[in-house]
């Protein structure tokens, strides 16, 4: 059975993609993902949290090192403080549950110490990347699980704005750093979130060899799709998607405090050789 064309149109705009022979309830579920920034005050239950973490732990982990952890934050005062760390994003404070996903090398160092073994590899950038990738894989499983329970989510990259302050709030030991946060809660039906279109597959899917030139028509089409989306959602975005994206990488001043991330990581015990 082909995928619902409405789902494909929401995700890609009017780009003519059809999947005639590759459909499943899981794919449809993933296509419906949207970032939710308005929540009801209803709490996320313990069983729901346990199910979300079980899904997260079912993600792949490099060499089964499990170099990630997550802190579940329900306390309103802590959520409010985390919201300030993330640039004053109100939904971090308002969502009933904030999950802070961590690259966690402290546990591995502790295992080495308790078995009287060296841990020099933890000082290399590769191991930091392992922790970040493990956390991202686990978190994406968590998002899919939360949405299957009728919950909404949104990632909070602003947790990297003030890594030391976040570490203080969450009592993170050296060798542990917040990679991103995640709001979790029941979406407020009075403020529904829209599915944001994605670029045509020709922009991200390459056959055999990578090509920048081949992406040009898809990027032009995506600029038009996003212009319609910005207008429909009454978003105050100036210029095309391409211009908006270029503005975000203009210099360290556009990184919202994350320009000193390497320094902060060193302060948190990551040597990054």
User: Domain check: are 40 and 12 in the same one?
Assistant: no
Specify the DSSP element, H or E, that contains 106: helix 106-114
User: Domain check: are 179 and 112 in the same one?
Assistant: yes
User: Domain check: are 103 and 4 in the same one?
Assistant: no
Contact 53, 70 (CB under 8 A): yes
For a pLDDT cut of 70, what percent of the chain falls above it?
95
Question: Residue 71 and residue 171: Cα distance in Å, rounded?
Answer: 10
User: Domain check: are 129 and 167 in the same one?
Assistant: yes
**Is residue 225 situated within a structural domain?**
no
User: Domain check: are 104 and 17 in the same one?
Assistant: no
Q: What is the pLDDT of residue 238?
A: 84
User: Domain check: are 79 and 173 in the same one?
Assistant: yes
Rg from Cα positions in the chain: 20
**Is residue 153 situated within a structural domain?**
yes
User: Domain check: are 3 and 103 in the same one?
Assistant: no
User: Domain check: are 20 and 38 in the same one?
Assistant: no
Number of domains within the chain: 2
User: Domain check: are 4 and 43 in the same one?
Assistant: no
**Is residue 18 situated within a structural domain?**
yes
Contact 99, 72 (CB under 8 A): yes
Reading the block at residue 69, the tokens are 């952890």
User: Domain check: are 25 and 111 in the same one?
Assistant: no
Q: Please report, in tens digits, the pLDDT of each residue of the chain (273 residues total).
A: 667 778 888 898 876 676 766 788 899 999 999 999 999 999 999 999 999 999 999 999 999 999 999 999 999 999 999 999 999 999 999 999 999 999 999 999 999 999 999 999 999 999 999 999 999 999 999 999 999 999 999 999 999 999 999 999 999 999 999 999 999 999 999 999 999 999 999 999 999 999 999 999 999 999 999 999 999 998 888 889 999 999 988 888 887 766 677 888 888 888 777
**Is residue 83 situated within a structural domain?**
yes
pTM: 0.93
Q: What is the pLDDT of residue 158?
A: 95
**Is residue 107 situated within a structural domain?**
yes
- Hey, which bits of the chain come out as E strands? 68-73, 97-104, 152-156, 176-185
User: Domain check: are 23 and 51 in the same one?
Assistant: no
Which CATH number is 75's domain given? 3.40.109.10
The 10s digit of each residue's pLDDT in 179-191 is 999 999 999 999 9
Contact 24, 33 (CB under 8 A): no
Domain that holds residue 96: 34-192
User: Domain check: are 1 and 75 in the same one?
Assistant: no
Reading the block at residue 83, the tokens are 């919201």
């Amino acid at each position: 059975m082909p995928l619902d064309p409405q789902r494909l149109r929401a995700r890609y705009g009017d780009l003519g993609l059809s999947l005639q022979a590759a459909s499943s309830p899981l794919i449809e579920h993933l296509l419906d993902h949207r970032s939710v920034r308005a929540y009801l005050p209803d709490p996320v239950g313990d069983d729901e949290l346990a199910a979300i973490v079980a899904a997260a732990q079912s993600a792949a982990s490099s060499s089964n090192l499990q170099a990630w952890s997550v802190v579940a934050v329900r306390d309103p005062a802590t959520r409010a403080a985390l919201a300030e760390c993330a640039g004053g994003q109100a939904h971090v404070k308002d969502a009933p549950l904030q999950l802070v996903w961590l690259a966690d090398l402290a546990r591995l160092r502790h295992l080495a110490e308790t078995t009287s073994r060296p841990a020099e590899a933890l000082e290399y950038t590769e191991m930091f990347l392992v922790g970040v990738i493990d956390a991202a894989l686990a978190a994406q499983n968590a998002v899919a699980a939360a949405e299957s329970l009728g919950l909404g989510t949104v990632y909070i990259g602003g947790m990297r704005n003030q890594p030391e302050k976040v570490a203080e709030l969450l009592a993170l030991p050296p060798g542990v750093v917040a990679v991103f946060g995640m709001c979790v809660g029941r979406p407020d039906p009075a403020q529904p979130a829209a599915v944001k279109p994605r670029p045509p597959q020709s922009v991200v899917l390459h056959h055999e060899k990578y090509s920048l030139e081949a992406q040009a028509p898809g990027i032009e089409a995506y600029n038009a799709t996003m212009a319609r989306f910005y207008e429909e959602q009454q978003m105050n975005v100036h210029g095309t998607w391409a211009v908006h994206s270029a503005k975000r990488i203009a210099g360290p001043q556009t990184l919202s405090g994350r320009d000193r991330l390497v320094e902060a990581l060193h302060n948190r015990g990551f040597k990054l050789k």
